[in-house]
Amino acid sequence: MRSASEILHHRRYLYGLLMASIGSVLFSGKAILIKLGFTYGANAETLLALRMVMALPLFWGIYWWRARRQVMDPLAWQDQIKIFALGFMGYFLSSYLDFLGLQYISVGLERIVLYLTPTIVLLISYFVLNKSISRLQWYALAVGYLGVIVVFIQDASSTGTMAALGMLLVFASACSYAIYMIGSGEMVKRVGSVRLVVYASSASTLISVMQILIYDPQAMFTQVPQIYWLSLLNASLCTVIPMLLIMIAISRIGSPLVAQSGILGPISTLFMGWLVLSEPITWIQLGGMSLVIGAMWLLVRNDAPSKQKGFKSKKLSELEGSDPLN
């Protein structure tokens, strides 16, 4: 018979796994809402600005709640500049490229390409930072990109040459976010994950509002009501709420298990695209998605034994910083 502590630990594990799974599915709903926004005539610039403006008060609410429990030292101006640059790369540019790419490809392909972000981090670490890559990791990389090619072939057969442009834009989005993940590794240790997310998202909001004011000053105020409801859902249900769920899940079950639960993202996106957007599901898509998920699972499993302090810190910064906008 299990003791009370074992029962409590088991419940904590199950609740953490459930939170991570729900968070992964909610994040994936972002692409669905953006696609729906396009059908009402909104452009990528407007949808991005509305999402950021609506999410910002929620982020600052989280920051205020956290600041009540923990005294935070003021940031040096060098750190403020770095956070602004990280906000531009990781939240504004990455999200903007992703929104642009969604105009040309299915939500299933978009989520699968974004799911490759850890492989891009791995490649940047290898070619730029001279980090080593094991043979298993090379195999996983090859299988993952093969899976993307398979799914791309399916998209290209229905949307033509524009699918290539869409996939390149989303891949550029993943590259931009991978740079953010690498750059935020040390920063999150100094300023904390919550403050980094809030400050970087604030910088992204400022940039996105400036962009739409230059592009079309009236756009944020002349949309149909459906656009504002979709943006509010995107900001809350698909941005801030899953961010909180992922952060709580990491504290309960650790980042490796949370990363594995992220496998639900591409799967749920594919079926939500079919249910909401009437995007077809084919055996080619399922096969390509299986290759990508299998490759990411190999990478996560390869990292899982490394539970020393350095590994956990690095994975925590990556996962906590990866939720809000992608």
Q: Is the confidence at residue 47, as pLDDT, over 90? A: yes
Q: Which of 255, 261, 253, 307 is nearest to 12 (CA)?
A: 253
How far apart (Å, rounded) are the C-alpha atoms in residues 181 and 121?
8
**Confidence band for 321, pLDDT divided at 50, 70 and 90:** very low
pLDDT at 259 over 70: yes
Length, in residues, of the chain: 326
- Residue 260 predicted with pLDDT over 80: no
Q: Are 172 and 150 in contact (CB under 8 A)?
A: no
Average pLDDT for the chain? 85
pLDDT range class, residue 68, cuts 50, 70, 90: confident
Q: Is the pTM of this model over 0.75?
A: yes
